[in-house]
């Protein structure tokens, strides 16, 4: 149903159209409509079936490569190896599926789709029903504090004000009334209320127009859910890495096959089996489990830091973030309006936790002011106390804190009143409220009328300075009511300007007494809001979160640009941004109106410098995010309202607020902040960077053993068989699938390395398997391992008479020599696991034994090596033999010089970096 038609139509015609009546529907008709329209819920985005999600965990490009590797191993006559590779794939797939399922379950627990109950007329009387059972044509009641369950036309109102920020992004309360008024904007009809919004004050009775996905809330949700989700950068990078590793493995296999046939003159069948074994050996079977474990560990750590990630791959995307487009209220600030200063023509007062003090008077900083000696201050506090609809809702449990129902501004005034010696309950008894003229955006004021004991009446008004001052012809000064002068006005505006420059928002107060000049029935705006006495100003702010300063510094040091996108005023936005170090004082502030007049190129040029967006609508955030992405940025965007959802979906990382966020925003986001805190985003980015770093550490570790594994075959081929294979294919695969796996998984869970947030974001053109990593893996770690293992092979043969005697090609001597080669590679890998734990930082600084998973993996390597040597069944399969005591002593000493050599390289690198 069109909003304007529903708002402007005569009420009796609307009842007729909806086949309803003022006392609502009967139960039978409501049941019939519930079957027709369905339950009143916002349908969640349709995810793939659990079966498809389960199968997806086994069908990534790397997983397919492992399925093929297992098949090749079985085809090559190594059935045990093939089955082992497949088991690795199965275990990883199950683990990945479980992590995704757990994340989804946690997200679902956060979602609270609609209020649980609603007060609905059924069979002519009020019934408390589940909100999901509401249908079009229902008549229902709303009260202060209620979440509105459906789109509806108001039938009756009593000082009703609604917070529509979830739809519009505007934090200003909207005055609702029965009379039709179109207003400006899509949701500006005065007599319509919308699902997903909240009643801040007053009461109302309404006719339900639409429920569920037919509401405005639901329509935006549907638009958001149709947007397609692109592959994450990590998915793209892993696919690229899989292609690289596959190409390398196949190329090496072909080279070894050709060399075996042409140089060694091996039979084609044997050469083919040999080549297949090399292909399998060069494929990192542990990559997928390590990546999954790294992501899962990061997700768990992030959840402890108040960030719930819905998709494992989103973790790494966070690490690439170059821009954060963030809201202000509640994210950078505490979303707790606090009054800092009170100004009257008599004096200026500072407000603290202890109470009031004269500004600059250190002696009275913690002393309560005697309000009897400060008449103007007392009058302003009385105004703030009586002209206030905020109420304290006592908690149901002692574990919870009291909740103030009402606007943040009135809550701040309530606290201001509590800090004084004025007893609110006594004041309200002495001066009962007899009429309220609610705040509205047109006149920017709220007025209450009170009955005094002597039969006269008092009027108290608060609102925007310009509008309140325009209604005043007098001023309260020195305990007297005097005519207001131009000098008085200059002084007032000067104080207001000072507060605005400090990022404070001012609220003006005025009053009038002995108002018996008109009949009580004529308490109209025109009669009450004129010839008032100006009292003063209360200056308030939404203070920055205490942890925001460090979070901003950390983001900037990490090369991340932060752009504030807020619906607040330009002055307030700039003041807060400069105060917390987000931008410099020379920042450009672009308003939503200015943004509408800019073309794409102008927006892109503006985004290259320091910029803040103020007075913007949530839908404009989508435009800002799109422009940033077109400039090559990886964008994290925050939001909480329904209209934020498209921008959250568009962003590379959508970040929804868990406390104040709507369900549609949470559904569209990749990450949900359970504390609505910007610092949690920065902490999550740090974890994302650690994940990418850990995957690279894992790659460095597993790839460095490939060269020592390949050297025996190279020597065998180049010598045309004179130098026997010092490592068999089964022994190579023992390293890849046995000894290497657990330390590699341990590296995937390495803690965040110091300095990770002092580097710029990763360039999307760079790859996991980059030039630097290849050089370090093969030309440094790999070369050391190759020299050591080859030397170990010849050392073992020297015991059998080499070089005087020929190298052993079979029997116990040959098996001991190959076992010594295998063991040397394993002990070099022990050193490599320790060295790979840090990129530049000293291992001794992070602690040799601080990663328990790596330590356990090293222990497992040694135990497995012992089993291979001393267990008959393994000795038979892997062609190993026991080593002597002196060989064990030599092996135990190997990691020490390798670790120290790497420490020297890291030290030299750090010195160069510092210089």
Residues catalogued as catalytic: 327
In the numeric block, which tokens belong to residue 844? 């001794």
C-alpha 316/C-alpha 324 separation (Å) is: 15
Taking the CA of residue 407 as centre, how many other CA atoms within 13 Å lie in the half-sphere pointing to its CB? 22
What separation in angstroms does the CA of 781 have from each of 248, 372, 376, 747, 824?
A: 19, 81, 79, 16, 13
How many residues does this entry show for the chain? 915
C-alpha 816/C-alpha 385 separation (Å) is: 91
Q: Count, in order, helices (H) and strands (E) of the chain.
A: 37, 27
Residues sharing a CB contact under 8 Å with residue 331, sequence separation 6 or more, in sequence order: 638, 657, 676, 677, 678
In the numeric block, which tokens belong to residue 620? 């404009």
φ, ψ (nearest 5 deg) of residue 538: -120, 125
Residue bearing tokens 């590779």: 85
Please give the DSSP secondary-structure letter assigned to residue 388. -
Burial bucket for residue 913 (CB in 10 Å: 0-12, 13-18, 19+): exposed
C-alpha 403/C-alpha 405 separation (Å) is: 6
**Cβ atoms of 137 and 25 closer than 8 Å:** yes
474: helix, strand or coil: strand
C-alpha 306/C-alpha 308 separation (Å) is: 7
What separation in angstroms does the CA of 341 have from each of 361, 778, 797?
A: 14, 66, 87
φ, ψ (nearest 5 deg) of residue 776: -65, -40
C-alpha 256/C-alpha 249 separation (Å) is: 11
**Cβ atoms of 158 and 170 closer than 8 Å:** no
Q: Smallest Cα–Cα separation from 197: which of 229, 165, 234, 223?
A: 165
- Whether the ω angle into residue 695 lies within 30 degrees of 0, i.e. cis, is no
C-alpha 870/C-alpha 42 separation (Å) is: 64
How far does Cα 255 stand from its chain's mean position? 48
Strands 139-143 and 117-122: what pairing? antiparallel
Residue 673 pairs in a beta bridge with 307, 657
**Cβ atoms of 123 and 27 closer than 8 Å:** yes
Q: Smallest Cα–Cα separation from 594: which of 609, 616, 610, 623?
A: 616
149: helix, strand or coil: coil
* Four-point Cα dihedral 724, 725, 728, 732, nearest 10: 160
In the numeric block, which tokens belong to residue 882? 């026991």
Q: Smallest Cα–Cα separation from 20: which of 132, 147, 120?
A: 120
C-alpha 746/C-alpha 743 separation (Å) is: 5
**Cβ atoms of 664 and 221 closer than 8 Å:** yes
Strands 635-639 and 192-193: what pairing? unpaired
350: helix, strand or coil: strand
**Cβ atoms of 583 and 555 closer than 8 Å:** no
Residue bearing tokens 């490009």: 61
Please give the DSSP secondary-structure letter assigned to residue 184. S
Residues sharing a CB contact under 8 Å with residue 400, sequence separation 6 or more, in sequence order: none
């Amino acid at each position: 149903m069109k909003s304007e038609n529903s708002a402007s139509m005569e009420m009796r015609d609307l009842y007729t159209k909806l086949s309803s009546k003022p006392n609502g529907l009967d139960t039978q008709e409501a049941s019939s409509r519930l079957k027709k329209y369905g339950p009143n819920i916002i349908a969640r985005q349709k995810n793939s079936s659990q079966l498809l999600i389960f199968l997806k965990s086994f069908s990534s490009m790397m997983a397919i490569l492992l399925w093929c590797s297992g098949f090749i191993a079985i085809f090559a006559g190594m059935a045990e190896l093939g089955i082992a590779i497949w088991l690795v794939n199965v275990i990883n797939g199950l683990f990945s599926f479980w992590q995704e399922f757990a994340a989804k379950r946690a997200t679902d627990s956060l979602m609270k789709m609609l209020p649980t109950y609603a007060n609905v007329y059924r069979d002519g009387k009020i019934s408390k029903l589940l909100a999901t059972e509401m249908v079009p044509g229902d008549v229902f009641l709303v009260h202060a504090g209620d979440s509105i369950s459906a789109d509806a036309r108001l039938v009756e109102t009593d000082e009703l004000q609604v917070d529509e920020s979830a739809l519009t992004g505007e934090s200003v309360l909207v005055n609702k009334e029965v009379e039709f008024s179109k207003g400006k904007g899509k949701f500006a009809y005065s007599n319509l209320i919308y699902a997903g919004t909240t009643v801040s004050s007053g009461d109302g009775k309404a006719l339900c127009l639409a429920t569920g996905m037919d509401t405005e809330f639901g329509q935006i949700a549907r638009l958001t859910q149709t947007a397609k989700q692109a592959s994450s950068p990590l998915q793209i990078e892993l696919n690229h890495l899989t292609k690289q590793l596959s190409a390398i493995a196949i190329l090496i296999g072909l080279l070894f096959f050709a060399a075996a046939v042409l140089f060694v003159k091996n039979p084609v069948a044997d050469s083919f089996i040999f080549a297949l074994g090399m292909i399998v050996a060069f494929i990192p079977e542990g990559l997928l489990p390590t990546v999954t474990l790294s992501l899962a560990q990061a997700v768990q750590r992030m959840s402890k830091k108040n960030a719930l990630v819905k998709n494992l791959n989103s973790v790494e995307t966070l690490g690439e973030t170059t821009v954060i487009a963030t809201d202000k209220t509640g994210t950078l600030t505490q979303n707790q309006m606090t009054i800092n200063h009170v100004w009257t023509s008599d004096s200026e007062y500072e407000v603290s936790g202890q109470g009031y003090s004269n500004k600059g008077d250190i002696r009275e900083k913690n002393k309560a002011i005697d309000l009897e000696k400060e008449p103007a201050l007392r009058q302003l506090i009385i105004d703030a106390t009586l002209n206030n609809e905020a109420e304290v809702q006592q908690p149901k449990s002692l574990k919870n804190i009291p909740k103030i129902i009402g606007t943040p501004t009135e809550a701040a005034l309530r606290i201001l009143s509590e800090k004084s010696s004025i007893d609110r309950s006594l004041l309200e008894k002495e001066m009962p409220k007899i009429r309220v003229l609610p705040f509205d955006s047109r006149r920017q004021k709220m007025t209450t009328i009170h009955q005094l004991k002597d039969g006269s009446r008092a009027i108290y008004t608060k609102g925007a300075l310009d509008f309140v001052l325009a209604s005043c012809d007098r001023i309260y000064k020195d305990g007297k009511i005097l005519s207001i002068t131009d000098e008085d006005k200059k002084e007032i505006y000067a104080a207001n300007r000072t507060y605005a420059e400090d990022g404070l928002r001012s609220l003006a107060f005025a009053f009038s007494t002995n108002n018996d000049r008109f009949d009580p029935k004529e308490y109209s705006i025109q009669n009450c809001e004129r010839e008032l006495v100006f009292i003063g100003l209360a200056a308030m702010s939404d203070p920055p979160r205490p942890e925001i300063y460090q979070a901003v510094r950390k983001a900037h040091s990490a090369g991340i640009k932060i752009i504030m996108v807020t619906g607040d005023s330009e002055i307030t936005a700039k003041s807060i941004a400069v105060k917390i170090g987000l931008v410099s004082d020379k920042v450009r502030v672009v308003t939503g109106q200015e943004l509408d007049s800019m073309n794409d190129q102008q927006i892109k040029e503006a985004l290259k410098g320091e910029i803040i967006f103020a007075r913007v609508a949530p839908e404009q955030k989508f435009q800002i995010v799109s422009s940033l992405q077109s400039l090559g940025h990886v964008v994290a965007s925050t939001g909480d309202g329904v209209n934020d959802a498209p921008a959250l979906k568009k962003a590379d990382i959508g970040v929804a607020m868990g406390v104040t966020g709507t369900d549609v925003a949470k559904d569209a986001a990749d990450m949900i902040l359970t504390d609505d805190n910007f610092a949690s985003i920065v902490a999550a980015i740090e974890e994302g960077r650690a994940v990418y770093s850990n995957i690279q550490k894992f790659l460095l570790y597993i790839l460095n053993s490939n060269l020592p594994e390949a050297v025996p075959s190279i020597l065998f081929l180049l010598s045309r068989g004179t130098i026997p294979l010092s490592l068999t294919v089964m022994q190579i695969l023992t390293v890849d699938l046995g000894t290497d796996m657990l330390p590699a998984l341990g590296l995937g869970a390495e803690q965040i390395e110091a300095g990770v947030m002092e580097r710029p974001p990763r360039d999307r053109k760079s790859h996991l398997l980059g030039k630097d990593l290849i050089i370090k893996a093969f030309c440094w770690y790999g070369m050391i391992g190759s020299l050591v293992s080859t030397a170990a092979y010849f050392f073992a043969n020297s015991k059998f008479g080499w070089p005087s005697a020929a190298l052993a090609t079979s029997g116990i001597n040959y098996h001991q020599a190959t076992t010594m080669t295998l063991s040397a590679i394993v002990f070099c890998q022990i050193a490599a696991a320790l060295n790979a734990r840090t990129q530049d930082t000293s291992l001794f600084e992070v602690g040799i034994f601080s990663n328990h998973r790596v330590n356990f993996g090293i222990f497992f390597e040694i135990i497995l090596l012992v089993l291979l040597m001393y267990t008959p069944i393994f000795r038979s399969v892997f062609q190993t033999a026991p080593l002597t005591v002196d060989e064990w002593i030599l092996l135990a000493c190997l990691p020490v010089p390798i670790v120290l050599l790497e420490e020297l390289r890291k030290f030299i690198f750090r010195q160069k970096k510092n210089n």
